[in-house]
């Protein structure tokens, strides 16, 4: 272990919510902590606020009173930057503006000792660029905490192009000693979480812009259909639409306007309107007192079919549907319908039910095939989305709805769109993750850890690709690319290579 000992002083520059949270983490870990802010009196106010939070921890029985008292005694505001001279680690949490961060670290380099570690909490700027003006950029590292820092365990430890390995290791070990779960990351736009999570927001916004479903329905399908804790619209309202859109725009620009990262015009208009989410009282949803929360689109109860036919094997997680159908008391018979290559469920009226393959439900070749959306766990899912071709009868659609309702699922019938909601979102997240791992951004294990802990995903995308198969994910994205030319859905070379390797192993 090369973690900084508790005898080392930690300084935090910037005393907003994130700065205070980081200071509290270091303080509770046993360090002397100095707080500095350029605004007069702000550091002293922050110290009082941290003290009040420690008081609440005592009231809740989280820490003893003597621990609180000792921590308070180790916390001091610093009115001038020069007072940070004896710090062994300085963490900046100031405005997300590159010139401001560069100016701060340039000034600190003339104040602190030669072995002082300089860390930036940037969430979207290049650590390499932040350190670019330093005489000794090797001691600058990214320490990206997640808000609220005292509660969320993940810390991304980012090595800039010039960061010394010893500096990155010290930062990693120190974060671990503070009770955090650090992950290592190369200096790439968005790092791990903000890079790989982009499709979770982007695909939902795209589905909304294509008038496939309303925000409440999209949220419900992702939340109830596959286990995400929050839907993308309610989550961006919580984060702040202005914050989320700024990160998306920053990552898009940093990737030279790669179409895979294109921001949403709908979100831009929301931000321009000042509807920034919960903090503004309104975003995608209205948070004013007494305002009703919109309900997701949910199909009315329909009778379940007495029997269905099963043709072939349903792919991936959908294979369990046969068990669920039989457990619901619905008879399952074999079906050898000529010319049907994919696994599907034959309904009594003659329509088929098949997992989305990335194409639309309405195609001349499959005019009577209703598509159902992906779930990572159909047994646990409580909501499923269906998309029907234009020519399907109301009776056939009612049979499909009734079948899933008999399995204990609520059903949202959405407009026909390639990839539906969950499938396109999960496939894009997987593609981003596989590509990031292949490029050395982070290890597959750290990617999964980051996505589970940083954004509370129900699993890691590298785990998902093992379950779904790279070939299935790649084929779905290829199909979507055929429907949406422009490069957004082209599978990465890393995903294609993984699919080829899977087939060689089999």
Q: Reply yes or no on whether 144 is catalytic.
A: yes
DSSP SS3 for 387: strand
DSSP SS3 for 481: helix
Return d(Cα 132, Cα 397) in angstroms, integer: 60
Return d(Cα 330, Cα 339) in angstroms, integer: 25
Alpha helices (runs of H) in 379-492, residue ranges in sequence order: 394-406, 422-438, 444-454, 461-468, 470-483
Query: Is the distance from CB of 450 to CB of 437 less than 8 angstroms?
Result: no
From 31, 36, 144, 311, active-site residue: 144
From 8, 121, 126, 194, active-site residue: 194
Return d(Cα 465, Cα 316) in angstroms, integer: 10
Return d(Cα 272, Cα 192) in angstroms, integer: 28
From 8, 36, 92, 156, active-site residue: 156
Alpha helices (runs of H) in 117-273, residue ranges in sequence order: 127-130, 165-177, 193-196, 198-209, 215-226, 232-239, 241-254, 265-272
Return d(Cα 353, Cα 407) in angstroms, integer: 15
Q: Which strand ranges, in their side-by-side order, compose the sheet holding 89-92?
A: 75-78, 32-36, 9-13, 89-92, 117-120, 140-145, 154-159, 181-186
Spell out the residues 6+ positions from residue 180 whose beta carbon is closer than 8 angstroms to its own.
25, 145, 153, 154, 155
Return d(Cα 192, Cα 155) in angstroms, integer: 11
Spell out the residues 6+ positions from residue 280 whose beta carbon is closer than 8 angstroms to its own.
274
Nearest to 398 by CA among 349, 328, 329, 331: 349
Residue position matching structure tokens 């439900």 = 361
Token pair in block for residue 233: 């619209």
From 123, 159, 264, 375, active-site residue: 123
Spell out the residues 6+ positions from residue 346 whose beta carbon is closer than 8 angstroms to its own.
308, 309, 310, 311, 335, 337, 352, 353
DSSP SS3 for 308: strand
**DSSP 8-state code for residue 60:** T
- Distance of alpha carbon 299 from the chain centroid: 29
| Residue positions annotated with a catalytic role | 123, 144, 156, 194
């Amino acid at each position: 272990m090369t973690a900084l000992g508790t005898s080392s002083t930690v300084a935090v520059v910037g005393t907003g919510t994130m700065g205070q949270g980081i200071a509290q983490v270091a303080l509770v870990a046993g360090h002397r902590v100095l707080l500095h802010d350029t605004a007069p009196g702000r550091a002293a106010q922050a110290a009082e606020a941290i003290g009040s939070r420690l008081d609440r921890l005592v009231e809740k029985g989280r820490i003893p009173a003597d621990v609180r008292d000792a921590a308070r005694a180790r916390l001091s505001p610093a009115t001038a930057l020069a007072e940070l001279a004896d710090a062994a680690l300085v963490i900046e949490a100031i405005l997300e503006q590159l010139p401001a961060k560069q100016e701060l670290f340039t000034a600190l380099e003339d104040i602190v000792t030669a072995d002082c570690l300089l860390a930036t909490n940037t969430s979207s700027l290049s650590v390499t660029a932040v350190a670019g003006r330093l005489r000794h950029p090797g001691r600058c590292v990214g320490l990206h905490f997640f808000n609220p820092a005292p509660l969320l365990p993940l810390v991304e430890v980012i090595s800039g192009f010039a960061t010394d390995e010893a500096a990155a290791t010290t930062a990693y070990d120190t974060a671990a000693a503070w009770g955090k779960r650090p992950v290592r990351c190369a200096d790439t736009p968005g790092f791990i979480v903000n890079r790989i999570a982009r499709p979770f927001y982007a695909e939902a916004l795209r589905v909304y812009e294509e008038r496939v479903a309303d925000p409440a329905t999209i949220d419900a399908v992702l939340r109830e259909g596959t286990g995400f804790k929050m839907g993308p619209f309610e989550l961006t309202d919580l984060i702040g639409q202005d914050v989320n859109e700024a990160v998306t725009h920053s990552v898009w620009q940093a990737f030279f306007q790669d179409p895979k990262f294109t921001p949403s015009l709908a979100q831009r208009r929301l931000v321009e309107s000042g509807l920034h989410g919960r903090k503004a009282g309104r975003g995608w949803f209205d948070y004013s007192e007494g305002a009703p929360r919109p309900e997701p689109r949910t199909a009315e109860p329909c009778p379940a079919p007495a029997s269905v036919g099963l043709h072939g094997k349903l792919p991936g997680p959908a294979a369990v549907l046969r068990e669920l159908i039989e457990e619901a008391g619905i008879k399952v018979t074999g079906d050898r319908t000529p010319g049907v290559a994919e696994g599907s469920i034959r309904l009594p009226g003659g329509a088929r039910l098949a997992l989305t393959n990335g194409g639309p439900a309405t195609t001349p070749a499959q005019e009577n095939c209703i598509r159902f959306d992906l779930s990572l766990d159909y047994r646990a899912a409580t909501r499923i989305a269906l998309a029907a071709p234009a020519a399907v009868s109301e009776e056939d659609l009612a049979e499909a709805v009734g079948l899933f309702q008999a399995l204990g699922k609520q059903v949202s019938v959405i407009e026909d769109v390639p990839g539906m909601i969950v499938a396109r979102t999960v496939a894009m997240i997987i593609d981003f993750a596989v590509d990031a791992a292949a490029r050395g951004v982070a290890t597959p294990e750290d990617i999964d850890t980051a996505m589970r802990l940083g954004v509370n995903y129900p699993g890691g995308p590298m785990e998902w690709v093992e379950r779904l198969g790279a070939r299935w994910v790649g084929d779905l994205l290829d199909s979507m690319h055929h429907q949406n030319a422009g490069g957004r859905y082209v599978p990465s070379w890393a995903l294609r290579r993984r699919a080829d390797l899977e087939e060689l192993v089999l």
